Amino acid sequence: MRKFLTYFTLCLIGSLAGVPLSCAADAPSWMHALANVPLPPHDEKTNAILLFSEDILSVQSNGRIKKVERRVYKILRPDGRNYGTIRADFDAESRISNIHGWCIPSQGKDYEVKEKDAIETALFGVQNGELMTDLKSKILTIPAADPGNIVGYEIEQELRPYVMQDVWAFQREIPVREAHYSLQLPPGWEYKSALLNHSEVPPSGGNGQWQWVVNDVAAIRPENGMPAWQSIAGFMVISLFGNASGRVNGFQDWKAMGIWENGLASGRREASPEIKKKTAELTANGATTLAKMRALAEFMQRDIRYVAIQLGIGGWQPHPAPEIFLHKYGDCKDKATLLSTMLKEIGVESYYLDINTERGTINPTTPATRWFDHVVLAIHLPGDLNDQSLHMIIAHPKLGRLLVFDPTDEFTPFGYLRGELQESYALLVTPDGGELIKVPQLPASMNGFERTAKASLDSVGTLRGEFVDQRNGDYGMYQRAALKSVSKDADKIKPIETLVSRSLTTFQITKASVLNLNQTDQPFKYIYSLVAEKYAKTTGNLLLVRPRILGFNSSDLLETKESRKYPVEFDGPVKNTDLFEITLPPGYEVDDLPPPINADYSFASYHSKTEVNGNTLKYTRTFEVKELSVPASKAEELKKLYRIIAGDERNTAVLKPVSQ
């Protein structure tokens, strides 16, 4: 599914090799007017300031759009030079009619670059495995984008979007002094606007022309683990309504968007004779409806490759099921389409579910817009189908129980949904239209590590042990994905070597094996043995032993000088457990043990205990993520929790010789 992208998006990227030819020419007056304006508040880390931005959208009576985009930057630091490289994206339905860039140096003459100096290339940064797309880019580099200088550009485009909707993104990673948005509509046209993550800004004007202005917009400085950009940055979504000559008007609501999407898929879930035959073949041995559903889901995950060919409306519209089946590939909406078609052949209804891989991109206040980047299926479960392996179920008031399943994700078992898609709003598309629903969060116990070890320690500090590393949910999925193309057995255990090396300075893995690599309905496991010399440290006649042999639950995420401004987002619910048993060396007994840890917060908890059972040192611990978003107001609590965990992970038990 094509990730949300307005056809007139301009991005700033790293400098390309070489600088376009330029000539001395006066920059336009609207740039020179900004040469000496006072700068908005900023700190010493600010690379540049957006002094002025202007977007002018002019809609013609036939629905075609002309857009002018202007930007003026003041470069403050060397890292701000990237703002002198501009990128304009276009496709078969849009055209760049003019592109200019200028530099006003602090000393000397102005520089100018024109469209002839631009480089045309395939779209930079294509995501999600797209094999073919009609999106392209023009890159223009403005010379002398150095600290103290001002750079700016103007781009004119002619657009014919499939949906008459625009997005004004006025907040950036750098401060914005002044941002303008102008809308010009022909007679008979109307608009609907919605501001997100910003106070209301009433437009000025009327009679077909409106303008919005915001001033002194604060920068959003990226933080690790921060929420989705659309959930925190200032945007305005503008939907247009009029005679668009065959194009779709902007969406009044989610229902209207769902009607449009359902129309795009009309007639594309018709089963061909080949599909009917394959469905019968795959489900012939299925004694129950669930067994048949599993067989079809497995076929979709393993036999239909993910390949995206998105030309024109193909970025939004699925290919016909017979075509997908014939070629044995498709993107997410294609795979959902084919599985839906095959499920219908066994009497099971299903519906598209648009979702985003960045939780929080869509919420109940978001207007109906194409900010989804993925499609999964909501499969209607027959009333008598109840199975404990089916976890991701939504109880819909009209449609009944719906099982959410991602046919694109080849490593996630039927009945489960990976963490990044949980606790997220999604668009359920039915013949009656679209409906925004909440995808639930699964129990933390379904995702995480379960490690156990039985080890022994000798009098010189060498540790020998047998380990079982079980990875549930997403953890197992990620490991299976990492090993997908690995053929050598020796290479399959390298992740274990990496894990162990983080905890032990010297070690040797004596044997190792992988279990359930291809059985996605079973927990993924590593079983291995190792020897670690000098694991216990000697101090006089004492031995210092770390009860926590392997693994880390601590994090330095919040160990920064700046206070946290945005929430911390976890990938998904997690529950990690460790049980390590170490047999004491002959002639030694425990002199001192680390204290137990019990740290409970609303968002996460950590418990550990070290005890002695006979001649065995036993260490148990549990780390659980309960809430997927930690507000900035609780960042200090999360930092404290991580520090508590880090301290516990360093703690040692003291062994002394047995008294004679």
**Helix boundaries (H) for 346-473:** none
Whole-prediction pTM value?
A: 0.90
pLDDT in tens, 518-545: 999 899 999 999 999 999 999 999 999 9
CB atoms within 10 A of CB 386: 11
Instruction: Judge whether 26 lies within some domain.
Output: yes
Query: What is the model's pLDDT at position 490?
Result: 85
The least confident of 247-251, 338-342, 605-609 is 247-251
Q: H helices then E strands: how many in the chain?
A: 10, 40
Please tell me whether residues 237 and 273 are part of one structural domain. no
Does 6 have pLDDT greater than 50?
Answer: no
Neighbour order of strands in the sheet with 85-90: 10-12, 85-90, 136-141, 119-122
Determine the pLDDT at residue 24: 62
Enclosing domain of residue 373: 258-442
Question: Does 519 lie in the same domain as 411?
Answer: no
Positive or negative CA dihedral for 387, 390, 394, 398? negative
Cα 616 from chain centroid?
44
Is-contact 622 604, C-beta < 8 A? no
Amino acid (1-letter code) at residue 176: V
Q: How confident is residue 91, by pLDDT bands cut at 50, 70 and 90?
A: confident
For 361-371, what is each residue's pLDDT tens digit? Answer: 999 999 999 89
- 369 and 512 in a common domain: no
Task: Confirm if 220 and 176 have CB atoms less than 8 A apart.
Answer: no
pLDDT 10s digits, 416-427: 999 999 999 999
**Whether residue 362 is found in the same domain as residue 400:** yes
- For the four alpha carbons of 20, 24, 25 and 28, in that order, the dihedral sign comes to positive
Q: Select from 648, 643, 601, 642 the least CA-distant residue to 621.
A: 648
Residues 222 and 337 in one domain: no
Share of the chain above pLDDT 90, in %: 84
Rounded alpha-carbon distances, angstroms, from residue 540 to 544, 594, 612, 651, 655:
10, 20, 23, 19, 11
d(CA 338, CA 318) in angstroms, rounded, equals 10
pLDDT digits (tens, 9 = 90+) for 170-203: 999 999 999 999 999 999 999 999 999 999 999 9
Instruction: Judge whether residue 3 has pLDDT over 70.
Output: no
- Which residues are CB-neighbours of 54 under 8 A, at least 6 positions away? 68, 69, 70, 179, 180, 181, 182
Closest CA to 463 of 592, 579, 549: 549
* 496 Cβ neighbours under 8 A, 6+ residues apart: 469, 509, 512, 526, 528
Collapse the DSSP code of 547 into the 3-class scheme (helix H, G, I; strand E, B; otherwise coil) and give the result: coil
Q: Are residues 233 and 156 in the same domain?
A: yes
Q: Identify whether 41 is part of a domain.
A: no
Q: Is the pLDDT of residue 19 over 50?
A: no
- Within a domain: 5: no
The verdict on residue 407 lying in a domain is: yes
462 and 418 within one domain: no
8 A C-beta contact, residue 463 and residue 582: yes
Residues 301, 224 within the same domain: no
Number of domains in the chain: 3
What confidence score (pLDDT) does residue 120 get? 86
Least confident of 41-50, 90-99, 104-113, 621-630: 90-99
Least confident span in 382-391, 422-431, 572-581: 382-391
Q: What are phi and psi of 43, to 5 degrees?
A: -110, 180
Q: For position 243, what pLDDT does the model report?
A: 87
Please check whether residue 18 lies inside any domain of the structure.
yes
Domain limit, last residue, from 408, 442, 476? 442
Give the SS3 label for residue 323.
Answer: helix
Query: Is residue 206 located within the same domain as residue 332?
Result: no
Please tell me the distance from the alpha carbon of residue 324 to that of residue 408, in angstroms, as a whole number: 13
Asked if residue 171 is part of any domain, the answer here is: yes
d(C-alpha 518, C-alpha 302), whole Å = 11
Provide the pLDDT for residue 247.
80
Higher pLDDT, 124 or 490: 490
Residues in CB range of 522: below 8 A, 6 or more apart: 515, 516
**DSSP bridge pairs for 657:** 588
Look-up of token digits 């950036």: 172
> What CATH number has the domain bearing residue 491?
2.60.120.1130
Three-state SS at 374: strand
Half-sphere exposure of 225 (CA within 13 A, CB side): 20
Domain presence at residue 4: no
Q: For residue 268, is it within any domain? A: yes
Check whether 128 has a pLDDT greater than 80: no
pLDDT of residue 25: 72
* Total number of residues shown for the chain: 660
Examine the domain organization and report whether 158 and 95 are in the same domain.
Answer: yes
Indicate if 413 and 556 belong to the same structural domain. Answer: no
Query: Per residue, what are the HEC states of 500-545?
Result: HHHHCCCCEEEEEEEECCCCCCCCEEEEEEEEECCCCEEECCEEEE
Amino acid letter for position 192: K
CB 214 within 8 A of CB 234: yes
DSSP state at residue 163: B
Alpha carbons 456 and 585: distance in angstroms, whole number: 7
Q: What is the pLDDT of residue 129?
A: 47
Quick one: average pLDDT of 574-584?
A: 98
Q: How far is CA 149 from the centre of its chain?
A: 35
CATH number for the domain that contains residue 342: 3.10.620.30
Continuous segment of H or E residues that includes residue 327? helix 321-327
Last residue within a domain, chosen from 250, 281, 308:
250
What's the pLDDT at 180?
Answer: 98
For residue 315, the model assigns a pLDDT of: 80
- Supply the CATH number for residue 164's domain: 2.60.40.3140
Domain end: 250, 266, 289, which one? Answer: 250
Instruction: List the structure tokens of 593.
Output: 């043990």
271 phi, psi to nearest 5 deg: -80, 130
Two structure tokens written together for 362: 């869509």
Residue 383 · residue 393 · CB < 8 Å: no
Mean pLDDT along residues 214-235? 96
Indicate whether 502 and 621 sit together in one domain: yes
pLDDT tens track for 544-570: 999 999 999 999 999 999 999 999 999
Cα 483 to Cα 493: distance, rounded to the nearest angstrom: 9
Instruction: Note the pLDDT of residue 126.
Output: 47
Instruction: Please list, in sequence order, all residues whose beta carbon lies within 8 angstroms of the beta carbon of residue 397, skipping any fewer than 6 positions away.
Output: none
